[in-house]
Amino acid sequence: MIWNNVLKNTEYKKKYVEYVKNWEEKIHSLLVFDPDRPTPGKAEGGSALSNIPYVVKDNIAVKDFRFTCGSKILENFVSLYDAAVIEKLNTLGAVPIGKSNMDEFGMGSSTDNSALAITNNPWDLERVAGGSSGGSAAAVAAGITPFALGTDTGGSIRQPASFCGVYGLKPTYGSVSRYGAVAYASSLDVIGVLARDISMTETVFDLIKGKDEQDQTTTEYIEDKRNLQKPVFGYLVGDLGLSDSVAKAYKNCIDILKSKGYEVKEIAIPSLEYVIPAYYTISTAEASANLAKFNGIRYGYRSKGTESPLALMKKSRSEGFGEEVKLRILLGTYVLRSGFQDKYYIKAQKIRTKIINDFNNIFGNIDLVVAPAFPTAAFRHGNADLSPYQQRLADKFSAIANLAGIPALSFPAGVYDNLPVGLQFFAPHYSEKLLFNAAKIIAEEIPVPKVPGFKTIEEICEAPRG
Ligand code: GLN
């Protein structure tokens, strides 16, 4: 595999860097690109990831790289250490060569909420790459790296993966250490993988998962080995509010599973309609606490010319945070204010319990749920296609998995009107293997799409003929 050689061979590297720069002029997926970063570890000869380049969402710490979270408040901040996942990948010899753009602090579905760059979808530069891990998804779809890391609190790995035509894994809550990742909503956040290849997705997940003393929410990974041979699938019926292309892709996927002889049952998730109020109550409440530390005192952006510490904090936060982040901090403090917790926060927690119970019931009868990842394919920059409100409502299919803590994988489900459409599988806790196997079944019929201009690493490095 040439990916292992690309950074070591001067000729290959030159061609590779040129390829990346060509794409980057168009898509702006990366906030940092540094192919000269020295290979971190002395990987034992056998590591599948030895010398393989990858990019990291900019809310995960990589030593000596900028660490902005897509925010002006951290615009010039540089990480002093590696996140636990990066340390693990270092020991395997993988090389982080860049930081990818994202919606500020993970808040959004477009990456347009980044204060630092606008990322374009490689399939159509007028459209968003999705978010909040939009830079990671765009980079992988363009063939810049064979995999990327992202984070998912309410869909931020799966939404951009589906908009760009790649795989996006949101692992079981607590299965991957978040030490070194900046928290958005701690009871929902998880680090995961984006890749064009399902085996690569699986390989990277297997290598980063597991208990870590530095993150007390991680647990020993004990695989759930249910029905791997002949899983039973469930799918949603009724009006799901999907665009034509997503509805077609959804039907086609169900038909494929049936035609291959799998049992496919109709299911309902009664709590689906309550996901958005619960998600936006819980995530903003947690965000308001998590983002309190960005106050201009200890690090990050500091406003000038203020007269008191309080004024300094107020002004630094007012100038340093973007609109979406401010809105969510305000909403979070509103739902938590004293005397009102019963009305919002506690109610949201009850919905969360209901969602967990719904999945317990569902997984009593079936093994995997097939669901849309997002109601539409990639939308255009700005609010013409989808208003900010509609963008938030669209999170229901993805945020439900975060509220339940279950693993979910979005997978390429075809190209319609020149845009990729993604769907997702949900599985019970600790059964990522089921997700990978199901994705392989679909991949036999629907190959991973190649965006026009995409080259494999072999094609990039091929000697010129003549
Ligand atoms: N679209 C979701 C939101 O805006 C994605 C959040 C995430 O997973 N970080 O909150």
Question: Domain spans of the chain?
Answer: 2-230+407-462
Q: Candidates 60, 109, 162, 424: which one to mutate for ligand 1, based on the most atoms within 8 Å of Cβ?
A: 109
pLDDT of residue 247: 98
**Joined tokens for residue 369:** 């749920």
- In tens digits, the chain (466 residues) has pLDDT values of 699 999 999 999 999 999 999 999 999 999 999 999 877 656 656 788 999 999 999 999 999 999 999 999 999 999 999 999 999 999 999 999 999 999 999 999 999 999 999 999 999 999 999 999 999 999 999 999 999 999 999 999 999 999 999 999 999 999 999 999 999 999 999 999 999 999 999 999 999 999 999 999 999 999 988 877 899 999 999 999 999 999 999 999 999 999 999 999 999 999 999 999 999 999 999 999 999 999 999 889 999 988 899 999 999 999 999 999 999 999 999 999 988 888 999 999 999 999 999 999 999 999 999 999 999 999 999 999 999 999 999 999 999 999 999 999 999 999 999 999 999 999 999 999 999 999 999 999 999 999 999 999 999 998 665 4
| 449 C-beta closer than 6 A to ligand 1 | no
Q: Candidates 156, 282, 290, 393: which one to mutate for ligand 1, based on the most atoms within 8 Å of Cβ?
A: 156
Nearest CA owner, ligand 1 atom 10: 107
Per residue, what are the HEC states of the chain? CHHHCCCCCHHHHHHHHHHHHHHHHHHCCEEEECCCCCCCCCCCCCCCCCCCEEEEECCECCCCCECCCCCHHHCCCECCCCCHHHHHHHHCCCEEEEEECCCHHHCCCCCCCCCCCCCEECCEEEEECCCCCHHHHHHHHCCCCCEEEEEECCCCCHHHHHHHCCEEEECCCCCECCCCECCCCCCCCEEEEEECCHHHHHHHHHHHECCECCECCCCCCCCCCCCCCCCCEEEECCCCCCCHHHHHHHHHHHHHHHHCCCCEEEECCHHHHHHHHHHHHHHHHHHHHHHHHCCCCCCCCCCCCCCCHHHHHHHHHHHHCCHHHHHHHHHHHHHHCCCCCCCCHHHHHHHHHHHHHHHHHHHHHCCEEEEECCCCCCCECCCCCCCHHHHHHCCHHHHHHHHHCCCEEEEEEEEECCEEEEEEEECCCCCHHHHHHHHHHHHHHCCCCCCCCCCCHHHHHCCCCC
| 153 C-beta closer than 6 A to ligand 1 | yes
Tokens 């038909």, located at residue: 255
Vertex 359 angle, CA 358 and 362, to 5°: 90
Q: Which CATH class is domain 2-230+407-462?
A: alpha beta
Nearest CA owner, ligand 1 atom 4: 108
pLDDT of residue 45: 61
Whole-model pTM over 0.95: yes
Using the mean position of ligand 1's atoms as its centre, give its distance from the Cα of residue 438 in Å. Answer: 25
Please state the atom number of ligand 1 nearest to the C-alpha of residue 324.
4
Q: Candidates 132, 158, 162: which one to mutate for ligand 1, based on the most atoms within 8 Å of Cβ?
A: 132
d(CA 120, CA 160): 11
d(CA 79, CA 91): 19
Q: Is 108 left (phi over 0), alpha (psi -120 to 50) or beta?
A: left
Please state the atom number of ligand 1 nearest to the C-alpha of residue 108.
4
Task: Tell me the catalytic residues.
Answer: 57, 132, 156
Nearest CA owner, ligand 1 atom 6: 154
pLDDT of residue 164: 98
Using the mean position of ligand 1's atoms as its centre, give its distance from the Cα of residue 465 in Å. Answer: 46
Q: Select from 97, 174, 173 the least CA-distant residue to 136.
A: 97
Please state the atom number of ligand 1 nearest to the C-alpha of residue 156.
8
d(CA 456, CA 212): 35
Using the mean position of ligand 1's atoms as its centre, give its distance from the Cα of residue 153 in Å. Answer: 6
Please state the atom number of ligand 1 nearest to the C-alpha of residue 109.
1
Please state the atom number of ligand 1 nearest to the C-alpha of residue 153.
8
Using the mean position of ligand 1's atoms as its centre, give its distance from the Cα of residue 324 in Å. Answer: 11
Using the mean position of ligand 1's atoms as its centre, give its distance from the Cα of residue 109 in Å. Answer: 6
Per DSSP bridges, beta strands 264-267 and 233-236 are parallel
| 96 C-beta closer than 6 A to ligand 1 | no
Using the mean position of ligand 1's atoms as its centre, give its distance from the Cα of residue 280 in Å. Answer: 9
Please state the atom number of ligand 1 nearest to the C-alpha of residue 154.
8
Using the mean position of ligand 1's atoms as its centre, give its distance from the Cα of residue 26 in Å. Answer: 25
| 107 C-beta closer than 6 A to ligand 1 | yes
pLDDT of residue 42: 60
- Type of residue at 400: I
